[in-house]
Structure 1
Amino acid sequence: MKILVTGGAGFIGSAVVRLAIARGHEIVNLDALTYAACLDNVAEVADSPLYAFEQADIRDRAALDRVLDTHKPDAIMHLAAESHVDRSIDGPGDFIETNITGTYQLLEAARAYWTAQGKPDSFRFHHISTDEVFGSLGPTGMFTEETPYDPRSPYSASKAASDHLVRAWAETYGLPVVLTNCSNNYGPYHFPEKLIPVVILNALADKALPIYGDGSNIRDWLYVEDHADALLCVLEKGALNRSYNIGGENERTNLELVKTICAILDEKRPRAEGSYADLITFVTDRPGHDARYAIDANRIISELGWKPSVTVEEGLARTVQWYLDNEDWWRALQARDGVGQRLGVDKK
């Protein structure tokens, strides 16, 4: 299968690119190379005859038409997005432009291409989204595919809008789509502004480990390579116009998560004195911080036979080791705009 992956130089997109090529798929990686993208993420497959790269913005319809006409993919996996909640609080406009307008332009380009190809039944537009579109949970319950949308941040609102656009293009124009909504990802190549890499890298620098509020916010953590496996599973086997929730079955509070990372680092690279947990610092919470996310992944498990394979403890150990082994990668990214700064602070 030839797959066009948007955002394939990003964190999740690059995991999809690497795994898909390992499984023999042809990949066209379309990425605008904005601040969070890094071609080093796909360096191991860059010389493969199965790989092609196109630098283009999903908001640029002419570029999209050219890429589709040139490469003639069998499917599109749409991962390109602005995704950092804190950045969306400071600058929501970029999220509206990329996640909503960009998705619209990609849908229109895909529709034109699919029509020109004779509307093949085998074509798929796979839209990759987030569990954050569902809002916030209380102490019990889980998000299912039928959970009403209730986004709380500019980021999640923009992703919710893009989900609605994809469903509308399926219903109105017959575009063959599948959708997925995932829980929090982590793992190798995670851009160093998100919680887990921030904690790892601050700890290695003997800096404070910032935790929002009291650290009680709960997330379901999904190892990125498990997620890539699930996405390819949905693309290949998912029912037309159906959505699938993808979760890691690994709920942890932020405080529990950070303490686990500290314990792993204590073992792998001990501090000169004391534990890394001594660096934990509670900071002012961000505005509208959702209390809890939890994914009910029964649909993808029962219908498609996929399950997560990595526990959060195992995944965190792999992730910490990867950052210890790849200092050149993350040091280069730490110089990029906003990395290492507190973003998303309520300025009222």
Structure 2
Amino acid sequence: MVYMEGINQYYGDIMHEFYKDKKVLVTGHTGFKGSWISECLANMDADVVGYSLNPPTEPNLYNLLDLNSRITSIIGDIRDIDNLKKVFNEYEPEIVIHMAAQPIVRDSYKDPLYTYQTNVMGTVNICECIRQTGSVKSFLNVTTDKVYENVEKDEGYVEDDKLDGYDPYSNSKSCSELVTHSYNNSFFKDIGIACSTARAGNVIGGGDFANDRIIPDCVRAVGRKEDIIIRNPYSIRPYQHVLEPIFIYLTIMKEQYNNSKYACYYNIGPDTSDCITTGELADLFCKYYNKDNDFKVKWVNKSDDGPHEAKFLKLDNNKIKEVFNWKPVWNIEKAIEKTVEWTKAYYNNDNLLEVTHEQMHEYCQELHGGN
């Protein structure tokens, strides 16, 4: 397939040689970001083992990409430490990326106990398995931009700002950070395990069908040919395409595997210019969806008086830039354009694996300054 040649050339230069045949455990592999990173790792010939609940939605990216045919998938609950230990003992992963979570703010108000059990004790279980297994050399815990105590300040939060999420989801991810830091200081450093956490901003892209997220709400609205309902059009968030954090996750895990000096905690978000309101994001979605489309979508403001959510949130991304010489590749407009492109392909019944690989290829070309 032609579109794979360019992407494998990139991997060959930067990532493929490292990840080829590496045993990588991905928790949450059936989720949105988990599916994207599993696809990337599979294309780099990594030996990928996924551990997760069944895909959280129908449809879902995991099945649309037929990932079951290219990775080892284990359906299990992150709260089940006995089952987790069996997986670690059987597969002996060298690299672990922990993405399994209850990820929805509003759902955390509905079921805070499950949220804390999954996001806090799930992290404890993963750390305990890593501590006891002996095979793991590189561990990355993916958390969220919402781990900080949000005081609605205008500038972006830096990595040393206070951790104290407001709602049960955000707070549970703050706790997940602290659990990881404790295990790192108490155990991992002494036994040679490089450990980092990644606090990523709001991620968008093709294949996200979650509830209570703005882009999936847009996708469902155009599928039903209805108006997009926006409940908080003036809330500001650090939106970024899913490939931005995916590639820096891969970089962190690789670099700290080779040199533990790279093990730390990092913000991963867009530049300030791409932190926009939900209404502006919806405007961009409508702009690109309405191109060459008979049905013209629009959005309407309709608050549902839901629970508290932060109105203003930005991340300072200077640390990740300085340490890894990284910078965002796709601005918010390009991120929305590629999301809409994927969405149209989905509704047109196109080959979504090809579309996904083509977008990965394009991203990699631009990452290296190509055309």
TM-score, normalised to structure 1, is 0.85
Mapped partners of 1:235, 1:30: distance in 2: 18
- Residue equivalent to 1:47: 69
Letter paired with 1:161: C
Residue 96 (str. 1) matches residue 116 (str. 2): yes
For residue 139 of structure 1, report the CA deviation from its aligned partner.
5.4
Mapped partners of 1:91, 1:5: distance in 2: 25
1:256 to 274, 280, 291: 280
- Residue equivalent to 2:3: none
**Partner SS for 1:105:** helix
**Partner SS for 1:125:** strand
Residue 190 (str. 1) matches residue 189 (str. 2): no
Distance 1:201-1:269 versus aligned 2 partners, 3 A rule:
farther
**Partner SS for 2:174:** helix
Distance 1:267-1:39 versus aligned 2 partners, 3 A rule:
closer
Letter paired with 2:329: S
**Runs of at least 4 residues of structure 1 off by over 6 A?**
none
- Residue equivalent to 1:80: 100
Residue 212 (str. 1) matches residue 234 (str. 2): no
2:80 to 60, 71, 89: 60
For residue 174 of structure 1, report the CA deviation from its aligned partner.
2.8
2:290 to 247, 262, 266: 266
- Residue equivalent to 1:158: 172
For residue 185 of structure 1, report the CA deviation from its aligned partner.
0.3
- Residue equivalent to 2:369: none
- Residue equivalent to 2:243: 225
Mapped partners of 1:91, 1:305: distance in 2: 40
- Residue equivalent to 1:126: 140
- Residue equivalent to 1:2: 23
Of stretches 196-205 and 249-258 in structure 1, the one that deviates more from structure 2 is: 196-205
* Residues 124-159 of structure 1, C-alpha deviations (whole Å, 9 max, x = no match): 221000010114353521011111113111100111
Report the number of matched residues: 316
Letter paired with 2:37: V
Contact 2:236 2:275 in 1 (8 A): yes
**Partner SS for 2:290:** helix
For residue 203 of structure 1, report the CA deviation from its aligned partner.
3.3
For residue 41 of structure 1, report the CA deviation from its aligned partner.
4.6
Q: What percent of counterpart residues are identical?
A: 23
- Note the residue ranges of structure 1 that are not aligned, 5 or more in a row: 330-348
1:148 to 130, 148, 162: 162
Richer in helix (by share): 2
Letter paired with 1:29: G
For residue 43 of structure 1, report the CA deviation from its aligned partner.
3.4
For residue 206 of structure 1, report the CA deviation from its aligned partner.
3.1
For residue 36 of structure 1, report the CA deviation from its aligned partner.
4.1
For residue 23 of structure 1, report the CA deviation from its aligned partner.
2.3
- Residue equivalent to 1:334: none
Mapped partners of 1:315, 1:39: distance in 2: 18
Letter paired with 2:202: N
Mapped partners of 2:93, 2:325: distance in 1: 26
- Residue equivalent to 1:338: none
**Partner SS for 1:259:** helix
TM-score, normalised to structure 2, is 0.80
- Note the residue ranges of structure 2 that are not aligned, 5 or more in a row: 1-21, 350-371
